[in-house]
Amino acid sequence: MEKKILTVEQFCAISGLRKQTVYNTLNTNPAQLPPRRRILNSKGIYFLSSDVEEWLDNLPKHYGTKTNVPDESKKSPPKNPVGRPRKSVQIARQRAIPLVEQDA
């Protein structure tokens, strides 16, 4: 297998990740990405194509999908608003409920 050196932009095109995401992940948790390579007298970050292919093959199938999205059927009903209702809501409620006069 031929080993090519990939730039961050090329890695992003292959992996589907955004460039800033790659840089953030390299700083916070570099074990989530394939090993990065540095070339002498160069400021860039590079990846070997063989490392990238191996990393892609070992990714879980659900990687990058929204797994924490709640089902619409399990959604809780909306909560009542907290605090004093708006004046327009108070007036609408007063108009909807007829006043009952009490005989004294």
- Domain residue spans of the chain: 5-57
Pick the closest to residue 46 from 35, 30, 32 (CA basis): 35
What is the pTM for the complete model shown? 0.56
Predicted pLDDT of residue 61: 73
Mean pLDDT of the chain: 81
Residue 24 has pLDDT above 60, yes or no: yes
Instruction: For 65-84, give one letter per residue: b (16+ CB within 10 A) or e.
Output: eeeeeeeeeeeeeeeeeeee
What's the pLDDT tens digit per position in 30-69? 888 999 888 888 888 999 999 999 998 888 776 655 555 5
The SS3 call for residue 88 is helix
Residue 100 has pLDDT above 70, yes or no: no
